[in-house]
């Protein structure tokens, strides 16, 4: 990372590490200074971070109680178990 002249393109590349606080302190500072002065990068960072939060919320089973599996599938699984021992020898 070139500390003196950090382009927006470079800022974009290090966003994941920046959010994880995984950059060396001086690089973290350079990023912060740039973000304070560059609305484009700041908005991108905010939207990127919100994308992460939304992704988690969208895939959270507690927030999105899944419907029951189709009965046909449940029955197929139970049926397959009954037939299982013939196909798969016990591991003992």
Partner 1 sequence: MESFQRPLADPFVTEAELVQGLQSGDPAAFERLVRDYSGRLLAVARRFLTQEQDAQDALQDAFLSAFRSISRFEGNSQLSTWLHRIVVNASLMKLRTRRRKPEKPIDDLLPQFSGNGHRDGHEPAWAVTIDTAVNDREIRELVRTKIAELPESYRTVLLLRDIEQMSTEETAEVLELTPGAVKTRLHRARQALKTLLDPHMQGA
54 binds Zn ion (CB under 5 A): no
**Site residues (CB under 5 A) for Zn ion, limited to 57-76:** none
Phi, psi of 69 (to 5 degrees): -65, 150
Say which residues have a Cβ less than 8 Å from residue 8's Cβ, sequence separation at least 6: 34, 38, 40, 41
Q: Determine the Cα–Cα distance for residues 8 and 13; give it in Å rounded to an integer.
A: 9
CB 41 within 8 A of CB 12: yes
**Interacting residue with Zn ion among 8, 57, 74, 80 (CB under 5 A):** 8
Beta carbon of residue 46, minimum distance to partner 1 (angstroms, whole number)? 6
DSSP, collapsed to helix, strand or coil, labels residue 45 as helix
38 binds Zn ion (CB under 5 A): yes
Tell me which residues touch partner 1 (CB under 8 A). Answer: 7-10, 12-13, 15-16, 39-41, 43-44, 46-48, 50-59, 61, 63-64, 66-70, 73-74, 76-78, 80-81, 84, 88, 91
């Amino acid at each position: 990372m070139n500390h003196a002249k950090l382009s927006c393109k470079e800022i974009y590349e290090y966003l994941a590490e920046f959010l994880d606080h995984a950059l060396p302190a001086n690089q973290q500072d350079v990023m912060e200074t740039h973000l304070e002065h560059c609305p484009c990068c700041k908005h991108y960072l905010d939207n990127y971070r919100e994308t992460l939060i939304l992704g988690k919320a969208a895939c959270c089973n507690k927030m999105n109680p899944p419907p029951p599996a189709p009965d046909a599938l449940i029955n197929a699984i139970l049926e397959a178990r009954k037939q299982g021992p013939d196909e798969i020898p016990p591991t003992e």
